[in-house]
Structure 1
Amino acid sequence: MIDTDHMKQRLESRRAALERRLQMIDDKLDQPHTADWEDAAIEHEEDEALESLGRTGLQEIEAIDAALARIAAGDYGACVTCGAEISGERLETLPATPFCRNCAA
């Protein structure tokens, strides 16, 4: 049996950590660039990496929000594709996963 309260706490904690990280990324991206063109080129590359991390973080937040919605609906732990139960081990590893091992493959 899945302890949904425990999983909800884990998901909410991870979401809060991601929101903090995204705020730090936004703050870094809002900083002005140097006037030196060589340094600006390096800063531009760093910005691209930060933007990629930001997109990944937003995608994870979307997955977490969907998992929290499944918890609220009482559907957490059931594969959204086939309806089979997602193993507890898989949920411990990937708490936001909507798929059983077979459907994820």
Structure 2
Amino acid sequence: MKYSQVREDLLKKQRELEDRLGRIDQHLTKPGNQDWSEQAQERENDEVLEAIGQEAALELRSIKLALRRMDEDEYELCDSCGETIPEARLKAMPFTRHCIRCAERLQG
């Protein structure tokens, strides 16, 4: 496979994110402190952890989609126009589903 190193990197990142999400979930489900002021601080911390968890979950979905696209031999194809995404773009942005032209059009 042409992108075997990219695949390996994505799988490693997937494992790291799954581990991180597991630790976040573990922290968020543990019982709270009995002290009200401590509970307030814990809640603030939980909000930060929830935001980090949401970002990690989004990145994890992107990784899984990229891996599926590799399995289906669609990794190099732009979702919008069907043209080939340049190899350099895929290596720089392994989650991308769009060529530069379509990505710019979607952002603008």
Q: Same fold (TM over 0.5)?
A: yes
Deviations 1:55-96 (A, max 9, x none): 111111111111111111111121111122222222222211
Residue of structure 1 equivalent to 2:67: 68
The CA distance in 2 between the partners of 1:13 and 1:65, in whole Å, is 12
The CA distance in 1 between the partners of 2:32 and 2:90, in whole Å, is 42
Residue of structure 2 equivalent to 1:102: 101
The CA distance in 1 between the partners of 2:5 and 2:42, in whole Å, is 41
RMSD over aligned Cα atoms: 1.5
The CA distance in 2 between the partners of 1:36 and 1:44, in whole Å, is 12
Offset of 1:20 from its aligned partner?
0.7
Residue of structure 2 equivalent to 1:44: 43
Higher relative CO (Cα under 8 Å, sequence separation at least 6) belongs to: 1
Name structure 2 gaps, 5 residues minimum: none
TM-score by length of 1: 0.88
TM-score by length of 2: 0.86
